[in-house]
Amino acid sequence: MNKDILSLFRRVFWHRSVSMNPDVSLPPHRITISLLTLDIIYLTLSMLIAFSLAGDYAFSGFLNRTLITSLLVTLPVSALIFIRIGLYRAMIRFMGQHAIWTILISITYSSLVLIMTIYFSEDKMSPLLSMTYWIFAVLFIGGTRLCVRAFFHSLKWLNSKNVIIYGAGESGRQLLTALQHGENFRVIAFVDDEVNLHGSVINGVPVVPPKSISSISIEFNISQVLLALPTISSERRREIINSLAGLTVSVKTIPKISELVSGRAIVGQIQDVDLSDLLGREAVPPNPELIEKCIASKVVLVTGAGGSIGAELCRQILQSSPRVLIMLDNSEFALYKIQNLIKSEIKANSTELICLLGSAQDFNRMKKIYSTFNVQTVYHAAAYKHVPIVEYNVAEGVANNVFGTAASAQAARESNVETFVLISTDKAVRPANVMGASKRFAELVVQGLALEERKTRFCIVRFGNVLGSSGSVVPLFKKQIHEGGPVTVTHPDVSRYFMSLEEAAQLVLQASAMGTGGDVFVLDMGEPVRILELAKRMIQLSGYSSDRSNEIVDNIDIEFIGLRPGEKLHEELLLGTRVAGTGHPMIMRAEEEALEYTIVEQALQSLESYCLKADCAGISAVLQNTVDGYANHEIRHDHIWLKQSNTGRRLPENQASDEKIKPFPKRILRDKPGA
């Protein structure tokens, strides 16, 4: 019974279905009638008190003629005024400044009605009567609403998370307003670097200095720190994140100013910390003129458009308004996803979007596409990039990475495509795995074609790991942390170069404008990041600890599982030491050896023969003989190769690689000035 009464009480004052008993519900007109009846009672009490306190209006009982007249006139007229002004349209739960002004205006009009009623009744009126009536009406009507609002907000806070907002600026205040209207968060304090704000209060929330975060976190059991700092520099953002990493509180953020300005996000959206903030360097600023040079008003083709890099390339290419954007992928589902994802970003009547199914290994298909649409710029992102997967599928991995590049590049040359950009990887430098060797072989194909001085400009872009891409450690770590661990790291000392997905795509687009033919562009990526430290930081920023000695918070274990097939402890970006500058301060042009294309063609023919037979020994021999730094790598994981060996159906080693593969000594050191 008590629950039903409280539920009804909540329905009257809450204006929405949040009762303890979900079956108890009042329609809107009954809510209005209930509140109006209560307000009439409050006005009656206010008038009785006002008449009692007015010295000139001492009355006997309730039969005073002026009092009765005032009640009969003021109450109905006031009811009409309250309804007309919209006093009952405001939800008490969200009652703010506007609702309070509505209450004050409504009661002021009611007081004026009382004054006019007494005036026309030709009775003498005390000046204090109307003022007393106004004060008590405000206390009863407004005070009751505020008390009910405060009461239910206190009930809401019982199950909400205590949070701190870092940043007391405009964005922080907007975030506070958004959170106060919700039910999940209770803001305990603002934290701000501005000394003049310390000790002040914003909407009931105090502003404290950064040094107070630790003590407040412990005292109020803070679960999250929300960064409301959309305009600060990346360097300062990283400093703040680093200072919060040791508090074992979850760190979230609102969107950056670029996302807010573009309309892709709003202040109230809370999201995970941008993992690019964890990099030990500033993001590479793009040069819009370089990006647009090979894109604006041109026909652009992206192979592997459904992958992580390909999809981001498509999104950024659209921003430079190409005449036609062709997205090619051999996966129907991937192509369907990227098509739906970027359709909304196409400017009206500016870019034609064409989605094509097909394999980059199909020379005839690629040539037909180039000639049919008069393609001017190609970004070749189609490749198998996961090291262990390629180790288990050697022939298919090499065929896709090498012959996909060869077919696409050769068709581009014969179709007089203006620019062809190969997207490569740091794993191509002195590779320790088949994937890296196949990508370096693909680089040699492009470099060899560039030596023939045709119309097409060929260039290569090489970078490290991309944060958040498919197969990256970052999504894996996030999933493992969400599931409670353990977080798996291959080796305590393993390190990798990292860059953001957006940054990687910008590098590719700018390189296409700077290339002079056969260029290998690399990014100044700063120092490599230790994967163990990255895992610890992600655990800490999620509100956990990786230290079992910490008994205050939940802990997530880090488990070392050993290097996977083909993995190295450390990656490199350059084959040699000769590096030239470019038109971009943080993009370098590597001076590396290349093979004449006639030599590359010989290796391609041998490689094709071995791939068709799934002869892993022959494939490995060609790769080791062609690719510098790839040596002593045994094929020990390919599923078909191992199965054939176990069943005795594999060719003997001396027959599997019966062709004598001679070394290819004719290497050319490209010595061209940087763009």
Equal CATH topology for 161-273 and 288-466+498-525+572-612: yes
Q: Which of 277, 252, 235, 231 is nearest to 164 (CA)?
A: 252
Query: Cα(276)–Cα(270) distance, rounded to whole angstroms?
Result: 17
> What pLDDT is recorded for position 1?
45
Buried b (16+ CB within 10 A) or exposed e, 187-201: bbbbbbeeeebbeee
Give average pLDDT by consecutive 10-residue segment, the chain, 675 residues. 46 39 49 81 86 62 68 85 75 63 83 82 70 87 78 65 84 80 77 86 86 84 82 76 75 62 50 62 69 88 92 90 92 91 70 92 94 95 90 92 94 93 88 90 92 86 73 75 80 76 83 82 74 77 57 67 69 58 74 85 91 89 88 78 68 45 41 39
d(CA 317, CA 312): 8
CATH architecture for segment(s) 161-273: 3-Layer(aba) Sandwich (3.40)
What distance in Å separates the CA atoms of residue 167 and residue 237, rounded to the nearest whole number?
Answer: 11
- 264 contacts 288 by C-beta, under 8 angstroms: no
The confidence score (pLDDT) of residue 638 equals 83
Annotate 32-99 with DSSP letters as a single string. Answer: HHHHHHHHHHHHHHHHHHHHHH-GGG--STT--HHHHHHHHHHHHHHHHHHHHHTTTTS-GGG--HHH
The pLDDT of residue 63 is 47
pLDDT at 405: 95
The domain spans of the chain are 2-156, 161-273, 288-466+498-525+572-612
CATH of domain 288-466+498-525+572-612: 3.40.50.720
DSSP 3-state of 166:
strand
pTM of the model: 0.66
